[in-house]
Structures are given as C-alpha cells and as structure tokens.
Structure 1
Amino acid sequence: MDLFKEVMIWKRTGETSAVRYSCLQDMLTGKYAIQSADFFRLPIEGEQFRIFERQFVELLLDVSPRDRCMWFESPEEAITAHDHDFSVDTKNKPIQA
C-alpha cells in the first residue's frame, strides 16, 4: 500500500530567507525522502504557496515516490543528499552552472 506521511522541515538560510523541505515518510518502511524543496525570500508573493502546494501534489501523483525518490533512515540524511544532488550551496540557493 502506498501510504506516506508528509513532514515539513524548515531551515532558515539568512535574515530574510528560508527553505522548506517537503519530506515524505514511507509508512511501510519508516524511511524518509525529500519530495521537493521550496525557497522563500522576503517579501513573500501571494501565489507562491499555492504554486508550491500544487507542484507537491503533481509530483506525488505523477510517479510513486517509492520509484522516484531516494530513501534514507532520517530526515537529516535525506536533506543532506538532496542538497548535494541539486548542488545547493551553503546559503541553500541552487548554484547556477
């Protein structure tokens, strides 16, 4: 059965910025994966949350997270791997190639 618990994890990355990790916990295995990471900076735009929520659901429905995501024993491990895989620098902004 495909049951997942959504776990939101926030990390402040500066005085006016933060990243929200949309983490999933697989209810069968207890392991964690990052579904997506959303970057925020003041001032927050009105549509920003709605767009991120829609993207979260679209990702969940498009392909099972069990097939798409890498799974880890802890949320911290999942975040570290996600940041590494997506080349996020110490300020948690994607690095431009």
Structure 2
Amino acid sequence: MNDSRLYKLINVFRRISAEKAIVYRCFELIPEGGFVVQSADWIRLPVDSDAMRQHERQLWEFFCEEAPEQRSGPSASIEEAIAAFDAEFGN
C-alpha cells in the first residue's frame, strides 16, 4: 500500500531531575494537522550510548510497523497529545 501521508517528527523534552529526563517522540500529521506521541524515552545520566541507539531503532521500527495515529488518536495540540500519552502509559 502506498500511503502518501506526511509526518513531521518533533522531539519534546521534559527534565525530571538533574539526572533524568524524558524525550517524547511526537509526530505532527501533515496536511490534516494534529499531534500524536509515538513513544517516550527515559534518559538517565550517565548516558548509555547503547540505550540511545535502541531508542532510535525502536522509534523507526514502531513508525514503519504502524502509522503513528493508529497507536493513539491525534490531539489538537502537542501538549494535549503528551498529556494523553502520560495518562495512558503513566509517565
């Protein structure tokens, strides 16, 4: 199937502490608009390069396996999409 939908990847960061953060992997749907969160990656110091590579690989595996908006419905704003993701997955 040839899906011509376009997506814009947006990384949104939340600092949890001086040693922890979350990177929300968000997509903007183009041209219809709306935002979805594909995943949220926890980053801890010291940074583990193997874990970072795994986060990146998982992002693209999820993206290729299923359209991001099929995992969760689009939200009108990126903040709403992150709040919905956190509510569902407990971040």
TM-score, normalised on structure 1? 0.85
Shift of 1:28: 2.1
1:46 to 17, 33, 49: 49
Superposed CA RMSD in Å reads 1.0
- 2:83 aligned with 1:83, yes or no? no
Q: Does structure 1 conserve the Cα–Cα contact (< 8 Å) formed by 2:26 and 2:39? A: yes
Identity of aligned residues (%): 33
Q: Which amino acid aligns with 1:22?
A: R
Segments of 5+ residues of structure 1 without an aligned counterpart are: 89-97
Shift of 1:34: 0.2
> For residue 10 of structure 1, what is the aligned residue in structure 2?
13
Q: Hey, which bits of structure 1, 4+ residues long, moved more than 4 A?
A: none
Number of equivalent positions: 88
- 2:60 aligned with 1:60, yes or no? no
Q: Hey, which of these two has a bigger chunk of strand by percent?
A: 2
Q: How far apart are the structure 1 equivalents of 2:34 and 2:62?
A: 18
Q: Hey, which of these two has a bigger chunk of helix by percent?
A: 2
Segments of 5+ residues of structure 2 without an aligned counterpart are: none
